[in-house]
Homo-oligomer: A and B are copies of this chain.
Amino acid sequence: MSEALKQLIGETQAKFKADAEAAKATFESRSALQEGLRTEVSLRHHQLTVDEPPALGGTDSGPNPVELILAALGTCQEITYRAYATALGIPLDNVSVTVEGDIDLRGFFAVDDSVRAGYEAVRGTVHLESSASEEQLELLRGAVNAHCPVLDILSNPVPVELDLKITQTSVEAAA
């Protein structure tokens, strides 16, 4: 696995160096709200149920959207550690991540408009099991944090554009 991944990374880097257009990718999410606050998501052929816990008005049939943000960060760190350890030839037996996010719900509930709606702070612990030296692992950490897509997405603003498409229903149909 490790050799195959190392080869894939090297080949992909060479390909993207030669052809910048080949590096451009677009990912997509399609979702639709169901009963209450439950929503069903398609990510390519993968399905996901998202909901809110009862205290936030849902039936807890899945994680909520802000929990997905933490899952995205934790897993992106792990995958990036594995990829960069492999590429740099640094031994890495295991990697696991715990991430916490603090949110002040007065933002979402419009109780205080000076309170942001999203996370005020995110903290995590990355646990590495490795026979490498501390210096090598600090070097690895630097490479990972400079290239982890989700860490970049959270740390720096992403331009988001949302269009509205309205299908008018009759009052009778809506009742």
Give the interface of A toward B (CB within 8 A): 1, 5, 8-9, 12-13, 16-17, 20, 23-33, 35-37, 39, 41, 43-44, 46, 48, 50, 52-53, 57-58, 62-83, 91, 93-113, 116-131, 134, 137-138, 141, 143, 145-171, 173-174
Offer 7 A-B interface pairs, CB within 8 angstroms, sorted by A. A23-B104, A30-B96, A31-B74, A32-B97, A46-B63, A46-B67, A72-B72
A79 CA / B121 CA spacing, docked (Å): 22
Select the residue from A53, A94, A105 with max chain B CB neighbours within 10 A.
A105
Question: How many of these chains are in the complex?
Answer: 2
Q: Which residues of B contact A77 (CB under 8 A)?
A: 162
Contact A76/B66 with A27-B101, A160-B124, A160-B151 known, Cβ cut-off 8 Å: yes
- Least CB distance from A130 to B in Å reads 6
- Least CB distance from A20 to B in Å reads 6
CB pair B165–A126 under 8 Å, yes or no, is yes
Q: Which of B52, B76, B137, B160 contacts A164 (CB 8 A)?
A: B137
Q: Which residues of B contact A82 (CB under 8 A)?
A: 33, 36-37
Q: Which of B62, B78, B111, B134 contacts A33 (CB 8 A)?
A: B78
CB pair A29–B67 under 8 Å, yes or no, is yes
- Least CB distance from A56 to B in Å reads 8
A4 CA / B123 CA spacing, docked (Å): 34
Contact A66/B5 with A23-B106, A130-B168 known, Cβ cut-off 8 Å: no
- Least CB distance from A21 to B in Å reads 10
